[in-house]
Amino acid sequence: MAKRSTPKKQQANSQSSRRYKDFRNKARKRLLATTALSKCDKCGEARLSHTACGSCGYYKGRVVIDKSKAMDKITKVKA
């Protein structure tokens, strides 16, 4: 069993939530710095660089993913 001292006072909820928020904001900032998002030329949606747009399927001015053939709704479920 790990030896550790007993806390002297109970920690306030705001104190622990503040610590967590600080951690969360730092993690969010780090993630935003690593992922390079760029805008789509066709529709203006945010997309990852060097990849086709997820909403319109365009990449470098031409259609890569045909969105018209995409399935609208799953009508039949095989069970």
Q: Which positions touch Zn ion (CB under 5 A)?
A: 40, 42-43, 45, 53, 55-56
Q: Of 32 and 48, which has the nearer Cβ to Zn ion?
A: 48
Q: Of 7 and 61, which has the nearer Cβ to Zn ion?
A: 61
The DSSP-derived string for 3-42 is --PPPSSPPPHHHHHHHHHHHHHHHHHHHHHHS-EEE-TT
Q: Within a 10 A sphere around the Cβ of 59, how many other Cβ atoms?
A: 17
Measured from the CB of residue 8, what is the shortest distance to Zn ion in angstroms?
57
Measured from the CB of residue 73, what is the shortest distance to Zn ion in angstroms?
22
End-to-end alpha carbon distance in the chain: 50
Measured from the CB of residue 19, what is the shortest distance to Zn ion in angstroms?
40
